[in-house]
Amino acid sequence: MKKIAILASGSGSNAENIANYFKESDYAQVSFIIANNPEAYVLERAKRLGIESAVVSKSEFMEADNVISMLKERDIDFIVLAGFLLLVPQKLIAAYPGRIVNIHPALLPKHGGKGMYGDRVHKAVVECGDTESGITIHIIDEHYDKGTTCFQAKCPVLPTDTPDDVAAKVHALEYEHFPHVIDEILHNLD
Ligand code: GRF
């Protein structure tokens, strides 16, 4: 059984969706959730799902050694960033090469980079007059929102759409595709 850890900073609706998807799997499971914010609602979801969770401070995360030990002690094979706002340090990437995937709520390379997360992304899409948005799922490197793109899906953006409208369409794409794409990546590993 492959073991997945999810890193999240906020609500964690993607984390819950992914955990539920893999509940049905005899191949992989979400066995650990890490949040960098003790108030993150993802911790409530973890409790409800019966998944072990931990909170790490920003400095502890950036220093990486403790986090790597926590992950290795639990035999974690693969890491999913689902609404996780910190830049992943090189040490952690080196400990999990090609095994850390992120979802970005827009069509990279547009609307990515430092500070481009959550509603800010959807606001930028509307302000630019884009006619489409979507999701990008990518294996990360040491830069915000770079690395190897594995999957993109698009949704239309209407001239009347607000950032909240775009967010709703993008969330629907995330829930539909992210678990399947993770499943596929896992099957292609080693
Ligand atoms: C998602 O839109 C994700 O793409 C972005 O942050 C949001 C997190 O939502 N990176 P949730 O915490 O999974 O509900």
In a 13 Å sphere around the CA of 28, the CA atoms on its Cβ side amount to 28
Coil/strand/helix, residue 58: helix
In the beta sheet, which residues pair with residue 139?
101, 148
Pick the residue whose CA is nearest to atom 10 on ligand 1: 83
Closest CA to 55 of 14, 17, 8: 8
pLDDT (tens place) for every residue of the chain, 190 residues total:
999 999 999 999 999 999 999 998 999 999 999 999 999 999 999 999 999 999 999 999 999 999 999 999 999 999 999 999 999 999 999 999 999 999 999 999 999 988 898 899 999 999 999 999 999 999 998 888 788 999 999 999 999 999 999 999 999 999 999 999 999 999 998 6
Note the pLDDT of residue 55. 98
Coil/strand/helix, residue 59: helix
| CA 175/CA 162 separation, integer angstroms | 20
Pick the residue whose CA is nearest to atom 5 on ligand 1: 83
Q: 119 φ, ψ to 5°? A: -65, -25
Catalytic residue list contains 143: no
Note the pLDDT of residue 144. 80
Instruction: Let me know: does 153 contact 135? Beta carbons within 8 Å.
Output: yes
Cα 132 to ligand 1 centroid, rounded to whole Å: 18
Total-model pTM: 0.95
Q: Spell out a b/e string for 157-177, using b for 16 or more CB atoms within 10 Å of the CB, else e.
A: beeebebeebbebbeebbeeb
Note the pLDDT of residue 145. 79
| CA 128/CA 143 separation, integer angstroms | 24
Instruction: Let me know: does 71 contact 79? Beta carbons within 8 Å.
Output: yes
Q: Is 10 in the pocket of ligand 1 (CB under 6 A)?
A: yes
Note the pLDDT of residue 20. 97
| CA 25/CA 93 separation, integer angstroms | 26
Pick the residue whose CA is nearest to atom 3 on ligand 1: 83
CA 109 to the chain's CA centroid: 17
Q: Using CA of residue 18, residue 22, residue 23, residue 24, what is the dihedral sign?
A: positive
Cα 63 to ligand 1 centroid, rounded to whole Å: 24
CATH topology of domain 2-109+135-152+175-189: Rossmann fold (3.40.50)
In the beta sheet, which residues pair with residue 6?
33, 80
Note the pLDDT of residue 143. 85
Q: Is 134 in the pocket of ligand 1 (CB under 6 A)?
A: no
